[in-house]
Amino acid sequence: MEENRVKEIFAQTKAIITGSHIVYTSGKHGSDYVNKDAVYPHTEETDELCRAIAECFVDANVDVVVAPAVGGVILSQGVARHLTRITGRKVFGIYAEKADEGDALVIKRGYDKFVPKKRVLVVDDVLTTGGSVKKIVELVRNTLKGIIVGVGVLCNRGNVQSDDVGGVPVLEALINVQMVMHDPDKCPLCAEGVPINTDVGKGREFLAKKEG
């Protein structure tokens, strides 16, 4: 899929937000945001994006597609389905979720049985720092003994590189967007008193913690 088509889908679904005051998952602040949740209700467009990611890995002999919950579940299912159709090989789609305690990610519900010694593709929606993807890569490699073949994402907005997500063989993004990010204590938007967006990102949580 050409990058212009990806941009068109993001524009049509109003997934690109500019000129706001966003708190990202990483805790950093910025004025722009890729709201992947705006894409998912549009099932045909979402399916088109899933196929585009799958096409990047048709020669990787993928056995299992893993994504972080919640948003990534849609991608893992869609990419696995298209890989199955394109390659004629059965490809499973599973997901990782937060552990009951701490920030670790785990693969539960018996899905972990699909990973050992299998070729695993990790997918996600938007990369800002790559932290969640790196946790899955390390979980698959170190704990479940799977073989990472690559990472595929809708959008890389943080200039994340392969080494940032665990040194994966391939990192493919359908679109790369450069977004300026600031540490909270050095954020010019905060200094200017620009209201924090509480509809997307982690703005609501940031304000609650600040007020608490």
Sequence ranges of the domains in the chain:
3-199
Class of domain 3-199: alpha beta
Q: Report the chain's mean pLDDT, rounded to a whole number.
A: 93
pLDDT at res. 212: 67
Mean pLDDT over residues 76-102, rounded? 95
pLDDT higher than 70, residue 89: yes
pLDDT at res. 3: 85
Structure tokens at 112: 């972990």
Task: Give dist(CA 154, CA 175) in Å, integer.
Answer: 6
DSSP string of 153-172? EEEE-S---GGGGT--S-EE
pLDDT at res. 135: 95
Structure tokens at 8: 């068109």
pLDDT at res. 157: 86
| HEC per residue, 42-57 | CHHHHHHHHHHHHHCC
**At a CB cut-off of 8 Å and minimum separation 6, what does 65 contact?**
75, 76, 79, 80, 83, 91, 92, 93, 94, 120, 121, 122, 123
| Beta carbons of 93 and 37 less than 8 angstroms apart | no
Mean pLDDT over residues 8-12, rounded? 92
What would the pLDDT profile of 122-166 be if each residue is shown by its tens digit?
A: 999 988 889 999 999 999 999 999 999 999 999 998 889 999 999
pLDDT at res. 67: 96
Mean pLDDT over residues 53-78, rounded? 95
Mean pLDDT over residues 100-120, rounded? 94
Angular region, 150: left φ>0, alpha ψ -120 to 50, beta rest: left
What would the pLDDT profile of 165-203 be if each residue is shown by its tens digit?
A: 999 999 999 999 888 889 999 999 999 999 999 998 899
pTM summary value: 0.86
Which of 59-68, 84-93, 109-118, 128-137 shows the lowest mean pLDDT across its residues?
A: 128-137
pLDDT higher than 70, residue 8: yes
